[in-house]
Amino acid sequence: MPTFQSLADEARLTFANLSGSVTDLAVPSVRLGVTGLARAGKTVFITALVHNLIHGGRLPVFQAAAGGRLTGARLQPQPDDAVPRFDYEAHVAALVNDRIWPDSTRQVSELRLTLEFESAQFLARRLGRGKIHLDLIDYPGEWLLDLPLLSKTYAEFSASALRRARAPNRKALADRYLSLLEGTEPSGPESEQDAQNLSAAFKSYLAACRSDAHALSMLPPGRFLMPGDLDGSPALTFAPLDIPADAPPSRTGTLRAMMERRFEAYKTHVIRPFFRDHFARLDRQIVLVDVLHALNAGPDAMSDLEEALGEVLTAFRPGRQNWLSSILTRRIDKILFAATKADHLHRDDHDRLEAILERLVARGIEHARFKGADVSVLAMAAVRATREASVRHKGEELPAILGTPLPGEAINGENYDGNCEIAVFPGDLPHDPDTLFSPAGELGIQDHGSGSAADPALRFLRFRPPKLDRTAEGLTLSLPHIRLDRALEFLIGDRLA
């Protein structure tokens, strides 16, 4: 049975959709959500997408551009005045001029790109050029992991969080938090100091889980690691307590009642506004996944990423759109899952990278397709930082990638300063993705260079953005990519047909 709060939210969403539909009568719009967990490349994706459309980049699979029907692309003021603007200009400068990767997504931001095109349909072409607004909504994937909390009680949240914290691959990371918990009596008197100590220890544990060495993904509540202007507020100062999942609400005045109250405040003041004002208004969605980062950390990280993506997918509102449903309630009718940093592998392994990602999101894909959404999986690099080459090693011709490692990256004890280009043998991903989810299968990667197959630096170095060539007139060429055009064609190609 829907709660009064959820009914009120749905009414507000319907009103917002009605208002948007009136505006769309003049120029239609598509709200594209761009998300992904930490280091997946959300900022880079949006920057590269806009840069290639504005500067006429090579997009052979994006039919509107390849056929010459895309006649213009320009930035416009965004429709939502209360949402921070995506700082496209600063991010382009970082990539093109400084050759550094832009800062990661820390909050919701928005950018409007207006596309002018000629329709592929004869009758529509006779009516003149078409125009569409592409509204890009950038938000942290960690916030998606909060949405399932809306349907959970504090006791259910505590039980699931403690189950994960006590798992063999997390227990050592959660040691300080679990030690504090042992000396805590949930039914004892409420204490601000106890709440702060437990919350700080729990947040430190989440931060340790997200570090490169472990690369774990199931880390709700998402705002604990990205507090923003709520840092230090009671709504972000709580932690799970050791109570049964079916425990009834506690009596007032206890520590547990204090935690329950703050958990509900988190849902009211953090999760619901995000869902109502941003997430529930999306038309299409791309989910970027840094599979290679999880591969470096091993099977535990891969299994954890699978669980996180499963939670993310339960938060979506997929469905087939028609003119009536789009007026009353928006549904996400296209979802693209993209494995990023495909340029860190030779192209012969891209199909295997896609197969691994499809294995990770298999449950969610089935659910979304059942609801009527169109779902696809893709290996891509929004900005290609490497080139491919063949190198002879001990009489054998090996596929290699050439690139400039970021300052501080190292192979076999040799550190790089960010100026030297090197050749790397990335190795081969396994044919069977299931081997990556079992410790017995190790990582299934064959090392063609010196060093062990478990050496993550040898397999997946981090590279600097590429140095762009300039035309005779001094104009910088568009950012190179791998399959960014395929992503565009899937996500918006039908709207420019």
Question: pLDDT by residue for the chain (497 residues), tens digit each?
Answer: 334 455 555 555 555 555 554 455 569 999 999 999 878 999 999 999 999 999 999 999 999 999 999 999 999 999 999 999 999 999 999 999 999 999 887 889 999 999 999 987 655 554 556 899 999 999 988 888 899 899 999 999 999 999 999 999 999 999 999 999 999 999 999 999 999 999 999 999 999 999 888 889 999 999 999 888 888 999 999 999 999 999 988 888 999 999 999 999 999 999 999 988 888 899 999 999 999 988 888 889 999 999 888 887 777 776 666 544 544 567 889 999 999 999 999 898 999 999 999 999 987 788 778 778 889 999 999 999 999 988 877 778 888 899 999 998 887 778 899 899 998 887 788 888 888 876 644 444 443 333 333 334 335 788 999 988 776 555 567 899 999 999 999 999 999 98
User: CB within 8 A of 183, min separation 6: which ones?
Assistant: none
pLDDT digits (tens, 9 = 90+) for 12-29: 555 555 555 445 556 999
Strands 29-36 and 130-138 turn out to be parallel
* Residues 383/48, Cβ–Cβ less than 8 Å: yes
How far is Cα 477 from Cα 54, in angstroms, rounded to an integer?
A: 11
Both tokens of 254, joined, read 């206890």
**Crossing angle of helices 175-182/154-165, nearest 10°?**
130
Domain with CATH 3.40.50.300 in the chain: 4-139+278-383+481-496
How far is Cα 113 from Cα 116, in angstroms, rounded to an integer?
A: 10
pLDDT at 7: 52
Residue 482 phi/psi, 5-degree rounding, is: -125, 110
Give the start-end residues of each E strand in 325-386: 334-339, 374-379
pLDDT at 454: 37
Which residue's entry shows tokens 């959820």?
6
Both tokens of 187, joined, read 């039914």
* Residues 206/219, Cβ–Cβ less than 8 Å: yes
How far is Cα 484 from Cα 469, in angstroms, rounded to an integer?
A: 19
pLDDT at 474: 54
- This prediction has a pTM of 0.86
pLDDT at 393: 74
* Residues 364/309, Cβ–Cβ less than 8 Å: yes
pLDDT at 368: 79
Which residue's entry shows tokens 């568009």?
478
Residue 151 DSSP SS3: helix
Residue 437 DSSP SS3: helix
- What is the homologous superfamily of the domain 4-139+278-383+481-496 according to CATH? P-loop containing nucleotide triphosphate hydrolases (3.40.50.300)
Cis geometry, peptide bond prior to residue 248 (ω within 30 degrees of 0): no
pLDDT digits (tens, 9 = 90+) for 268-304: 999 999 988 888 899 999 999 999 988 888 889 999 9
pLDDT at 156: 97
DSSP string for 222-245 = GGGTS-GGGTT-GGG-----S--T
How far is Cα 357 from Cα 235, in angstroms, rounded to an integer?
A: 35
* Residues 478/57, Cβ–Cβ less than 8 Å: yes
pLDDT at 223: 92
19's enclosing H/E stretch is: helix 4-24
Q: Considering only CA atoms, which of 221, 236, 271, 245 is closest in space to residue 6? A: 271
pLDDT at 12: 57
pLDDT at 297: 84
pLDDT digits (tens, 9 = 90+) for 162-191: 999 999 999 999 999 999 999 999 999 999
Long-range contacts of 407-411 (CB under 8 A, 24+ apart): 409/457, 409/461, 409/462, 410/457, 411/451, 411/457, 411/458, 411/461
pLDDT at 470: 72
How far is Cα 183 from Cα 54, in angstroms, rounded to an integer?
A: 59
